[in-house]
């Protein structure tokens, strides 16, 4: 019996949407602390969201190339996970994990076979790997920005490396993604929004329902 699929709803900004994601059956919720993102929330807001989520769902704070003071500030909030979404090296990921004392998800942007080869460098220093679409050239922030990548590239990945899949997933595409790519988890942000940073309750519910049906 395979482990149940892990479903993460990322970029949550309000208690209302947090409650929606939990009621719909999300396993993890993510909060973005990165001012250039339309999903950015302050440390104070994240503190409120984490305390509202505690004991109900796993929480994750997404950071981009954070400095040590930012890591310490976030670690003090007691999330279950820190997700690193910048150009952090394996050495830096290891240092952040040791300093924070919190499990780390490392996002690796995929646009080529060379990018897939980089994943192996993070498997010993991160607790989970998240593969995401590489942002288009000139983008002002990391992440798939609503785009998928060529999933066939992942065929080159060592099958013993488990990963979560992100990048352009929507309620319409998530079932195909799960069946094609076989990730242990899926992560969605813009695919369940009606506008950048504005989550849509019905899309969150449909995404989770369709993902569970595809397990």
Question: Model confidence over 193-209: pLDDT tens digits?
Answer: 999 999 999 999 999 99
| Average pLDDT of span 79-90 | 96
Strand partners, 105: 83, 128
Distance from C-alpha of 35 to C-alpha of 141, rounded to nearest angstrom: 10
Q: What is the pLDDT of residues 28-58, one digit of tens each?
A: 999 999 999 999 999 999 999 999 999 999 9
Residues making up the chain, counted from first to last: 215
pLDDT at 116 over 50: yes
Is residue 60 annotated as a catalytic residue, yes or no? no
Q: Is-contact 9 188, C-beta < 8 A?
A: yes
Structure tokens at 167: 């990048």
CATH node for 6-214:
3.20.20.70
**Mean pLDDT (the chain, rounded):** 93
Distance from C-alpha of 126 to C-alpha of 116, rounded to nearest angstrom: 16
pLDDT score of 144: 46
Is residue 132 annotated as a catalytic residue, yes or no? yes
pLDDT at 3 over 90: no
Distance from C-alpha of 69 to C-alpha of 72, rounded to nearest angstrom: 5
> Of 110-114, 149-153, 182-186, which has the strongest mean pLDDT?
182-186
Q: Is 191 helix (H, G, I), strand (E, B) or coil?
A: helix
CA neighbor of 91 nearest in space, from 81, 78, 79, 104 = 104
In this structure, the strands spanning 198-199 and 193-195 are antiparallel
| Average pLDDT of span 4-18 | 97
Active-site entry in 3, 132, 140, 187:
132
Provide the whole-model pTM: 0.94
pLDDT score of 141: 54
Structure tokens at 171: 């309620």
pLDDT score of 1: 44
pLDDT at 60 over 50: yes
Output the CA angle 54-75-198, nearest 5 degrees.
60
Lowest mean pLDDT among 30-44, 127-141, 153-167: 127-141
**How remote is the C-alpha of 189 from its chain's centroid?**
8
What is the percent of the chain with per-residue pLDDT over 90, rounded to a whole number?
Answer: 87
């Amino acid at each position: 019996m395979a482990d149940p699929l892990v479903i993460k709803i990322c970029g949550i900004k309000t208690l209302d949407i947090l409650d929606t994601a939990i009621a719909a059956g999300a396993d993890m919720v993510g909060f973005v602390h990165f001012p250039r993102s339309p999903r950015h929330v302050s440390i104070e807001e994240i503190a409120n969201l984490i305390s509202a989520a505690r004991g109900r769902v796993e929480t994750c704070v997404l950071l981009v190339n954070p400095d040590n003071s930012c890591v310490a500030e976030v670690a003090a909030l007691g999330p279950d996970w820190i997700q690193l979404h910048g150009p952090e090296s394996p050495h830096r990921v290891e240092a952040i994990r040791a300093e924070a004392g919190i499990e780390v998800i490392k996002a690796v942007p995929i646009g080529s076979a060379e990018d897939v080869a980089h994943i192996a460098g993070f498997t010993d220093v991160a607790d989970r790997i998240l593969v995401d679409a590489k942002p288009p050239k000139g983008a002002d922030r990391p992440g798939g920005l609503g785009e998928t990548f060529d999933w066939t590239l992942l065929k080159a990945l060592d099958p013993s490396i488990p990963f979560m899949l992100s990048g352009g997933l929507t309620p319409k595409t998530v079932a195909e993604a799960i069946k094609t790519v076989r990730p242990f988890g899926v992560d969605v942000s813009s695919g369940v929004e009606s506008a950048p940073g504005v989550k849509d309750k019905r899309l969150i519910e449909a995404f989770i329902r369709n993902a569970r049906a595809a397990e």
